Amino acid sequence: MAEYDTIRSVGVGARAQIDEGLRAHMNKVYGLMSVAMVVTAGVAWGVGSSEQLFSLLRNPVTGGMTILGWIAMFLPLGMVFAFGALINRMSASAAQLFFYAFAAAMGLSMAWIFQVFTGVSIASTFLITAIAFAGLSLYGYVTKRDLSAMGTFLMMGLIGLLVAMVVNIFLASSALAFAISVIGVLVFAGLTAFDTQNIKNTYIAHAQAMDQEWLGKAAIMGALNLYLDFINLFMFLLQFFGNRD
């Protein structure tokens, strides 16, 4: 694998420096992701548990979404595309701020779960997701198996999943919804391991350059990828473990 070739090509001292830097880099990735998760959870709970605030997103009489509700639904998607297009022009600090703003927008779009599911089932599903995510991410970090071949397969699965979700908006099929949830769990479980290894490999490939600005942005992009894996894994698992009010 490329990362091991890179490590073997440097001396013992440089290798130790890369290993130490990798640990610090991964700690930063997980730290950024954790803060973003706290922001998302805080916004989702704050809006979803308040009838007054939630009424700004959904009409309490008809149950339909308001204009602000539609904006909140699609805002995270627009921000992800904007982030990918603009990150190279941003400073690392600006990119980090944008990431946290995205996490807040995601929390706003997820506020509805506190209106539909019980708080206990949300908390228990979050714990299940955290345990599964930790195991999958650890596997992606320590395995010597090259997971890059999984990337194309997983992206195809993700595209198929998105198409099926759009189709089911019109069909409203419970059987298709169940299948989507099963496939969604499998796809994002695989992406968690794949993205973790990719973050590790990308750092090792560029470690000798030690461009701190680039490393800062790489950590933010890595945190974003793992954050999205966690959120999607949580939302699909919630369809299985969530108890409705």
Q: What is the per-residue pLDDT for 207?
A: 72
Main-chain phi, psi angles of 62, to 5 degrees: -90, -25
Beta-bridge partner residues of 58: 65
Q: Which residues is 244 bridged to in the sheet?
A: 117
* % of the chain exceeding 70 in pLDDT: 91
Band the pLDDT of 245: cuts 50, 70, 90: low
35-44 pLDDT, tens digit per residue, is 999 999 999 9
Return the pLDDT at 192. Answer: 97
pLDDT tens digits, 187-218: 999 999 999 999 999 898 877 666 777 888 99
Question: By C-alpha distance, which of 144, 242, 136, 236 is closest to 194?
Answer: 136
| C-alpha to C-alpha distance for 117 and 124, rounded to whole angstroms | 11
28-87 residue pLDDT tens: 999 999 999 999 999 999 999 999 999 999 988 888 899 999 999 999 999 999 998 998
pTM for the model stands at 0.89
